């Protein structure tokens, strides 16, 4: 097998016959993974006529892994992910009482996949609850390793909560009732700035117009407020020639040129602005919880998370993923919508530099929706015949053509 490697500058070295790891996932995972692999292989063949290809390496995780090994995430699977460098996965069930808060969180923390990247755009033909869904074209960069994902919590009646309440009372004069659970929300300068750096780098590389720092800094001044301040700091210190602040832009719009506007919005305002002034926003950088909320809210405007892709990216490793759940009642029925995973695969192709194949796959998905070739989740809204998961994949392949 020809594995992707990393050079001394953390740049990917991708062979023409590249090995990519994949986790089928639970529930509908095997169905949508099969459709994803078929469409990706077809797009690569159309783009490169046999000069490039992917060798898919299966990695066990989730319910299948537990049945065979007694572990939801075996050590051998972690070694495979490390060896592959770039992987893609279907949805995974969060096990109860098995030592993992979430398999997804565990993978992100294990491989320091600190940027959860979620592009959201409209596909013509997809039903939407808003008047102008075509204005939606945003990319959310969500911090993936701290904030609430650090998981520092104590149940209200635990010994830990009691000790923290006593500490707060004795050291700071803060009085909390005995029925108060405690949670700590850590947000660091280093992790905030590397996330914003990645968002700005993306905006520059993709000729985006702005990066908005989403926060609740008016209330949480030293966590989310600090996230905002550190974001502006990294923009000024590292990207001063390529960015301007919103205040600078408003004072002299004509002097902006092709520089990127750095602005910030308070979280609750960001939600309503995303609805009422959609076209004014482009790239959003946010702490973990804010990024989780806003990415799903944006997806709801253009068809829901069933067609929303996602990626977990660090400085070395990357795992692309379907952002929806496992939908176990549809497992094995060949009816699920594979779009989220297929579009995540287009992100994977761009990540490894195979942009021609990514464009072909992306355009074919767009053509499918424009022709209203859809699976049951959207067909019942449009009152048209539903395609099976595999049939939807076939329709995508039919629409592939070299640009």
- Lowest mean per-residue pLDDT among 94-98, 196-200, 249-253: 94-98
Over residues 337-358, the mean pLDDT reads: 97
Q: Is the pLDDT of residue 100 over 60?
A: no
Please indicate if the annotation marks 112 as binding a ligand. Answer: no
Q: What is the pLDDT of residues 256-272, one digit of tens each?
A: 788 999 999 999 999 99
Our answer to whether residue 229 is catalytic in this structure is no
Q: Is the pLDDT of residue 97 over 70?
A: no
Please indicate if the annotation marks 325 as binding a ligand. Answer: yes
Question: Which contiguous run of DSSP H or E holds residue 83?
Answer: helix 75-84
Please indicate if the annotation marks 108 as binding a ligand. Answer: yes
Pick the CATH number of 128-147+185-302 from 3.40.50.1370, 3.40.190.10, 1.20.1070.10, 3.40.718.10: 3.40.718.10
Q: Which of 89, 369, 345, 30 is nearest to 377 (CA)?
A: 369
Please indicate if the annotation marks 259 as binding a ligand. Answer: no
Half-sphere exposure of 212 (CA within 13 A, CB side): 24
The yes-or-no answer to whether 1-117+308-402 and 128-147+185-302 have a common fold is yes
Distance of CA 244 to CAs 180, 240, 247, 354, Å? Answer: 44, 7, 8, 32
Q: Which of 314, 294, 401, 342 is nearest to 111 (CA)?
A: 314
Spatial contact of 319 and 88, defined as CB atoms under 8 Å apart: yes
Half-sphere exposure of 275 (CA within 13 A, CB side): 11
Q: What is the structure's pLDDT at 403?
A: 67
Our answer to whether residue 359 is catalytic in this structure is no
**What are the boundaries of each domain within the chain?**
1-117+308-402, 128-147+185-302, 154-184
Our answer to whether residue 228 is catalytic in this structure is no
Q: What is the structure's pLDDT at 79?
A: 97
Q: Tell me which of 292, 334, 362, 377 is the catalytic residue.
A: 292
| Triad 147, 194, 282: Cα angle to 5° | 90
Please indicate if the annotation marks 118 as binding a ligand. Answer: yes
Question: What's 1-117+308-402's CATH class?
Answer: alpha beta
Distance CA 208, CA 102 (A): 33
How many Cβ atoms sit within 10 Å of the Cβ of residue 259? 17
Over residues 293-319, the mean pLDDT reads: 94
Q: Widest CA span of the chain, in angstroms?
A: 71
DSSP for 161-230, please give it.
HHHHHHHHHHHH-----TT--EEE----HHHHHHHHHHHHHHHHHTT-SEEEEEE-TTTSTTTHHHHHHH
Q: What is the pLDDT of residues 192-239, one digit of tens each?
A: 999 999 999 999 999 999 999 999 999 999 999 999 999 999 999 999
- Lowest mean per-residue pLDDT among 37-51, 252-266, 343-357, 377-391: 252-266
Q: What is the pLDDT of residues 173-185, one digit of tens each?
A: 999 999 999 999 9
Please indicate if the annotation marks 327 as binding a ligand. Answer: yes
Q: Tell me which of 76, 247, 268, 371 is the catalytic residue.
A: 268
Reading the block at residue 35, the tokens are 């459709």
Over residues 312-340, the mean pLDDT reads: 95
What average pLDDT does the structure give for the chain? Answer: 94
Tell me the pairing of strands 283-286 and 137-143. Answer: parallel
Please indicate if the annotation marks 142 as binding a ligand. Answer: yes
Q: Tell me which of 89, 191, 198, 216 is the catalytic residue.
A: 216
Please indicate if the annotation marks 93 as binding a ligand. Answer: yes
Q: What is the structure's pLDDT at 258?
A: 87
Question: Which contiguous run of DSSP H or E holds residue 275?
Answer: helix 267-276
Question: Of residues 96 and 19, which shows the higher confidence score?
Answer: 19
Please indicate if the annotation marks 17 as binding a ligand. Answer: no
Our answer to whether residue 258 is catalytic in this structure is no
What length is written for the chain?
Answer: 403
Q: Tell me which of 22, 114, 122, 149 is the catalytic residue.
A: 149
């Amino acid at each position: 097998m020809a594995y992707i490697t990393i050079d001394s500058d953390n740049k990917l070295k991708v062979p023409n016959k590249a090995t990519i790891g994949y986790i089928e996932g639970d529930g509908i995972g095997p169905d949508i993974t099969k459709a994803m692999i078929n469409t990706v292989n077809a797009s690569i063949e159309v783009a490169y006529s046999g000069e490039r290809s992917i060798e898919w390496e299966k990695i066990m995780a989730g319910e299948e892994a537990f049945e065979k090994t007694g572990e939801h995430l075996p050590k051998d699977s972690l070694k495979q992910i490390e060896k592959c460098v770039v992987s893609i996965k279907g949805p995974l069930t969060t096990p109860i009482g098995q030592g993992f808060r979430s398999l997804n969180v565990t993978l992100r923390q294990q491989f320091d996949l600190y940027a959860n990247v979620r592009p959201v755009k409209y596909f013509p033909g997809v039903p939407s609850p808003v008047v102008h869904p075509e204005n939606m074209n945003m990319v959310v960069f969500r911090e993936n390793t701290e904030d609430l994902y650090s998981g520092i919590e104590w149940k209200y009646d635990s010994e830990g909560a009691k000790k923290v309440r006593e500490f707060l009372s004795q050291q700071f004069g803060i009085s909390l009732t005995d029925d108060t659970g405690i949670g700590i929300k850590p947000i660091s300068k280093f992790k905030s700035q590397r996330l914003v750096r990645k968002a700005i780098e993306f905006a520059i590389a993709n000729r985006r117009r702005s990066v908005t720092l989403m926060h609740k800094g008016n209330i949480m001044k030293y966590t989310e407020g600090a996230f905002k301040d550190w974001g502006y700091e990294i923009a000024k210190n590292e990207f001063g020639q390529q960015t301007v602040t919103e205040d600078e832009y408003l004072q002299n719009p004509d002097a902006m040129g092709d520089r990127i506007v750095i602005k910030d919005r308070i979280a609750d305002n960001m939600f309503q602005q995303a609805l009422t002034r959609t076209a004014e926003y482009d790239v959003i950088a946010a702490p973990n919880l804010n990024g989780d909320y806003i990415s799903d809210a944006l997806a709801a405007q253009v068809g829901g998370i069933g067609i929303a892709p996602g990626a977990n990216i660090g400085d070395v490793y990357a795992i692309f993923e379907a952002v929806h759940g496992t939908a176990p009642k549809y497992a094995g029925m060949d009816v699920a919508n594979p779009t989220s995973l297929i579009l995540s695969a287009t992100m994977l192709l761009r990540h490894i530099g195979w942009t021609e194949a990514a464009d072909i796959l992306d355009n074919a998905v767009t053509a499918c929706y424009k022709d209203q070739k859809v699976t049951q989740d959207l067909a019942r809204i449009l009152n048209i015949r539903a395609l099976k998961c595999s049939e939807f994949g076939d329709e995508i392949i039919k629409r592939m053509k070299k640009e």
